[in-house]
Structure 1
Amino acid sequence: MSDRLARLTAFADDIGRPVRICLVGAGQMGSGLAAQLGRMPGLELAAVVDINADRAAAALGLAGRDSVHVGAAGAPAALAAGRPVALDDPKAVAELDIDVVVEATGVPLVGAAVAHNSLLAGQDVVMLNVETDVTVGVYLDDLARSAGQVYTIADGDEPVCGKELVDLAHEMAFDVVCAGKGKNNPFRPSAVAGELQDEADRKHMNPKMLASFVDGSKTMIEMAALSNATGLPVDTVGMHGVTSEVDGLASTLIPAADGGVLSEAGRVDYAFGPAPGVFVVVTHQDETVRQEMSYLGMGAGPYFTLYRPFHLASLEAPRTIITTVLDRRPVLRPAGWHAEVVATAKHDIPAGTTLQGIGGDHVRGVTYRADQATEFLPLGLAENGVVQTDIGAGDPLPRSAVDVPASVISTLRSLQEMRA
């Protein structure tokens, strides 16, 4: 047993019970996490919330839980008696005696409400929902800090893995030239869920989630989160997205003055080729150190690539719960607002259209520098918005052209912008 697991077990012994986890969203990511939690000493999957209560109960079964109580009525008493709870309404989460809420729906409207209510209820929040974070993460982080709670993105997602490499580079006194991820699926900006149903079924995925990968939105969201966490801006609208294997990154994602594509060093970007890992291109001011890097097989220099060839998504998320409980700190938080993901038309959108959200038929995400995106609609606010004027294919949606209905996420976004 690792030292951290031993500490976690001791912590559970001290409080007289396992740390209680509530999972919101029992899709592919949530199910993988549920199976992991059933095998983690000191942690207990106590509740699962999903739009389908049967799927919530099935996720509890993956964690080895039985005698499941279904429904919000009587749920607090069932939990107190040691029974796991399956719910179909996320509003009930804040009423439960839960230590950590893991949000895994990928839906900004849901994620914002769950995170906000949970933090106010004294529950820590671990986000597998980066879509929410790039929309209202600064507000949620501020709220958590003021309430003495933890708000964090989960280990295993590219933003956290990328941030770890950035931190490693800085701790070795390297200059970070570019941090990013490899994109490992086709890029079809106009892709919609309906045309991906068969592939989604084979992969046991929600077709809208798969569409968000294929249309590029997920990559844009993840790199915006990395930008906000590190302070490294994107270099251009939508980033460069070069095609390169790992060995070529150190000659491609570098400043144009040295033969690369970047306007200058210190940027976030992505590449087709080095997938599914994350990378950081670095250099060092000292010639002796550069020579040592070459000796160690890291290339000819002066630029070098640090590469992590995997990220294990929800399977790594329990590590974040351990850090949250034992160390009371986030593993990744938006340290500032450096990048925005803008809703961009997949095709011509006529006035009067009610927009579908991420992975839907109407819009995809494109990453901008935050200061260049103030007049455009954030992707996380697009769902259910009503378009007031015709929008051309490929155009960013102006905020003034969309009537965004009142919701928790639109309110939190307004509060976040008021504090900026």
Structure 2
Amino acid sequence: MAYRDRLQQRLEETGRPLRVGLVGAGQMGTGLAAQLLRMPGITLSAVFDVQHERAVEALTQAGVDPQDAADAESGAAIIEGGGSVALGGLDLLDRLPLDVVVEATGVPEVAVQVAVRALAGGIDVATLTVEADVTVGRYLAELARQSGAIYSVCRGDEPVETKILVDYARDLNFEVICAGKGKNNPLDPLANPDTLAERAVTKQMNPKMLTSFVDGSKAMIEMASLANTTGLGVSTTGMHGPPSTVPTLHQTFALKEDGGVLDRPGVVDYCTGPVAPGVFVVIRTEDPYVHHEMSYLQMGEGPYFALYRPYHLASIEAPLTVYEMVLDRRASLVTEHWNAEVGAQAKRDLKVGDTIDGIGGYTVRGLIEDAEEFAGQGHVPLGVLAGARLVRDVPVGQTLSYDDVELVEDSLVVRMRRIQEQMDAADAETPKLVDLRTSLPG
């Protein structure tokens, strides 16, 4: 039965719609809200945004009359009466009668605060901020287990859609050689919001967001997420990122001895060229008859073949995760391995006292690495660096280590990363969800 039919059935059985809360009313959140409310049996019960007027606008654009709530009691009464609230802060989040919270801020610190609050309230959490999952995904998965609720990265972005292809290939017993995505923009590691200002205006994009695409940070983060959910490895630091086309994917991402760029199978990578906005998996079969059948079905000459999905629909597809969580009680993507990390490479010569401005900024860009090598080098994750202060000079092109920076230690994402790094120690005591929640204001 389709999700649409099952949602209608749920509405008839429970007598009330699925109550969804949205945190972050920017481009992604507003797009998700518009698509979500096209389905029966769903209501957008609450929108949270630091700019209260954006929360109001998101509900209004979705055809919902927004109301304000002074406290948890009044907010709960509005929601239980079928209304929707627009809120500027997160204080009430885990005290409202919500079934699912969708986090769409793109800010790792906010994303983990939302997850902790919601899970502590027994509310399922779907996030579009894959940057947070790449940084503390293992710990978030553990907190979800403690709570009995579900935590998941959302459908629609490349990690989940590529994972679906990987699962499909493995279910057919193909060997997965490489999984990845097409990158829209040629790589410019030193790009910043100033150099991309005109292009951002043309594309009607936030310059920092465009910078995170062009300097490669987003591709590094997405492919690290893919590695950590599928168990695939990192092809090489920064990945190869060769040019390719859809018809030549199976040749580009073959092993070196067969004319491709890879020195081993079972890795993640990306390519430039007319493969974007699609995702792909390059597979191999040595079985003569399967090889024959694949060739007969016009999948290529083999033994390498490419499975390709020509699109990903970002926030438009994200509601699928909400349906999956509520109706099937499963996550679309959760960290099951720890094979990849995303560090920070200096975009310019950084000096003592400089402050890191985060993803898509002027100071650093994301760089994917093998997790063991990353830890061995003492590198610091990109996701904890916002607001960090340099305590040593770092030349352009060098990857930052913990010794190079003073982190904002009272931020939640930094505290959670410290905990995650100790989780595998024999004597480690992983702090409980309730302890983390108690440490947050409100």
TM-score (norm. length: structure 1): 0.96
CA-to-aligned-CA distance 1:79-137 (integer Å, 9 cap, x gap): 23322111221233122211111111111111111111111111101111101000011
Q: Helix, strand or coil for the counterpart of 2:233?
A: coil
Q: Helix, strand or coil for the counterpart of 1:20?
A: strand
Which amino acid in the other structure matches residue 354 of structure 1? Answer: T
For the structure 1 residues 202 and 79, does the alpha-carbon distance in structure 2 shift closer, same or farther, using more than 3 Å as the test? farther
Partner of 1:415: 419
Is the Cα–Cα contact under 8 Å of residues 186 and 272 in structure 2 kept in the other structure? no
Is the Cα–Cα contact under 8 Å of residues 100 and 125 in structure 1 kept in the other structure? yes
CA-to-aligned-CA distance 1:199-258 (integer Å, 9 cap, x gap): 434444332222111111000000000000010011110000010101111112121121
For the structure 1 residues 28 and 70, does the alpha-carbon distance in structure 2 shift closer, same or farther, using more than 3 Å as the test? farther
Q: Helix, strand or coil for the counterpart of 2:91?
A: helix
Deviates more, 1:223-232 or 1:13-22: 13-22
Q: Helix, strand or coil for the counterpart of 1:117?
A: helix
Is the Cα–Cα contact under 8 Å of residues 344 and 394 in structure 1 kept in the other structure? yes
Partner of 1:318: 319
Which amino acid in the other structure matches residue 399 of structure 1? Answer: Y
**2:391 pairs with 1:388:** yes
Which amino acid in the other structure matches residue 126 of structure 1? Answer: A
Which amino acid in the other structure matches residue 180 of structure 2? Answer: G
Q: Distance in 1 between matches of 2:98 and 2:193?
A: 35
Partner of 1:360: 361
Q: Distance in 2 between matches of 1:201 and 1:248?
A: 34
Partner of 2:107: 107
Q: Which runs of structure 2 are paired with 1:247-326 in the superposition (5 Å)?
A: 247-273=247-273, 274-326=275-327
Is the Cα–Cα contact under 8 Å of residues 281 and 305 in structure 1 kept in the other structure? yes
1:388 positional shift: 0.3
Which amino acid in the other structure matches residue 85 of structure 2? Answer: V
Partner of 1:155: 155
Which amino acid in the other structure matches residue 392 of structure 2? Answer: T
Which amino acid in the other structure matches residue 412 of structure 2? Answer: V
Which amino acid in the other structure matches residue 200 of structure 1? Answer: A
Q: Helix, strand or coil for the counterpart of 2:369?
A: strand
Q: Distance in 1 between matches of 2:114 and 2:390?
A: 27
Q: Distance in 1 between matches of 2:354 and 2:194?
A: 18
Q: Which runs of structure 2 are paired with 1:342-353 in the superposition (5 Å)?
A: 342-353=343-354
**2:375 pairs with 1:376:** no
Which amino acid in the other structure matches residue 49 of structure 2? Answer: D
For the structure 1 residues 116 and 393, does the alpha-carbon distance in structure 2 shift closer, same or farther, using more than 3 Å as the test? same
Is the Cα–Cα contact under 8 Å of residues 66 and 86 in structure 2 kept in the other structure? no
For the structure 1 residues 267 and 9, does the alpha-carbon distance in structure 2 shift closer, same or farther, using more than 3 Å as the test? same
Q: Helix, strand or coil for the counterpart of 2:367?
A: strand
Which amino acid in the other structure matches residue 267 of structure 2? Answer: R
Is the Cα–Cα contact under 8 Å of residues 9 and 41 in structure 1 kept in the other structure? yes
Unmatched tracts of structure 1, length 5 or more? none
Partner of 2:48: 49
**2:171 pairs with 1:168:** no
Q: Helix, strand or coil for the counterpart of 1:60?
A: helix
Is the Cα–Cα contact under 8 Å of residues 32 and 314 in structure 1 kept in the other structure? yes
Deviates more, 1:251-260 or 1:125-134: 251-260
Q: Helix, strand or coil for the counterpart of 1:161?
A: helix
Partner of 1:402: 405
Which amino acid in the other structure matches residue 283 of structure 2? Answer: V
Deviates more, 1:224-233 or 1:79-88: 79-88
CA-to-aligned-CA distance 1:322-350 (integer Å, 9 cap, x gap): 01001111011111111000011111111
CA-to-aligned-CA distance 1:2-59 (integer Å, 9 cap, x gap): 6322112222232321111111111111111011122111111111111211111111
Q: Distance in 2 between matches of 1:190 and 1:70?
A: 45
Which amino acid in the other structure matches residue 260 of structure 2? Answer: G
Q: Helix, strand or coil for the counterpart of 1:350?
A: coil
Is the Cα–Cα contact under 8 Å of residues 22 and 48 in structure 1 kept in the other structure? yes
Unmatched tracts of structure 2, length 5 or more? 425-442
Which amino acid in the other structure matches residue 55 of structure 1? Answer: R
Q: Distance in 2 between matches of 1:390 and 1:111?
A: 30
1:414 positional shift: 1.4
Q: Distance in 1 between matches of 2:210 and 2:355?
A: 21
Q: Helix, strand or coil for the counterpart of 1:90?
A: coil
Which amino acid in the other structure matches residue 262 of structure 2? Answer: L
Is the Cα–Cα contact under 8 Å of residues 101 and 125 in structure 2 kept in the other structure? yes
Is the Cα–Cα contact under 8 Å of residues 183 and 270 in structure 1 kept in the other structure? yes
Deviates more, 1:380-389 or 1:196-205: 196-205
Please give the root-mean-square deviation of Cα atoms over the aligned residues, in Å. Answer: 1.5
Q: Distance in 2 between matches of 1:298 and 1:133?
A: 35
Is the Cα–Cα contact under 8 Å of residues 72 and 87 in structure 1 kept in the other structure? no
Deviates more, 1:7-16 or 1:134-143: 7-16
Is the Cα–Cα contact under 8 Å of residues 351 and 389 in structure 1 kept in the other structure? yes
Is the Cα–Cα contact under 8 Å of residues 72 and 89 in structure 1 kept in the other structure? no
Q: Distance in 2 between matches of 1:367 and 1:72?
A: 43
For the structure 1 residues 383 and 76, does the alpha-carbon distance in structure 2 shift closer, same or farther, using more than 3 Å as the test? same
Q: Distance in 2 between matches of 1:67 and 1:272?
A: 43
Which amino acid in the other structure matches residue 52 of structure 1? Answer: Q
Partner of 2:228: 228
Is the Cα–Cα contact under 8 Å of residues 188 and 214 in structure 2 kept in the other structure? yes
TM-score (norm. length: structure 2): 0.92
Q: How many residues align?
A: 419
Q: Distance in 2 between matches of 1:193 and 1:41?
A: 41
Q: Distance in 2 between matches of 1:201 and 1:12?
A: 43
Which amino acid in the other structure matches residue 162 of structure 1? Answer: T
Q: Distance in 2 between matches of 1:70 and 1:279?
A: 46
Q: Distance in 2 between matches of 1:95 and 1:65?
A: 21
Q: Distance in 2 between matches of 1:75 and 1:202?
A: 41
Q: Which runs of structure 2 are paired with 1:85-96 in the superposition (5 Å)?
A: 85-96=85-96
Q: Distance in 2 between matches of 1:287 and 1:56?
A: 58
For the structure 1 residues 376 and 36, does the alpha-carbon distance in structure 2 shift closer, same or farther, using more than 3 Å as the test? same
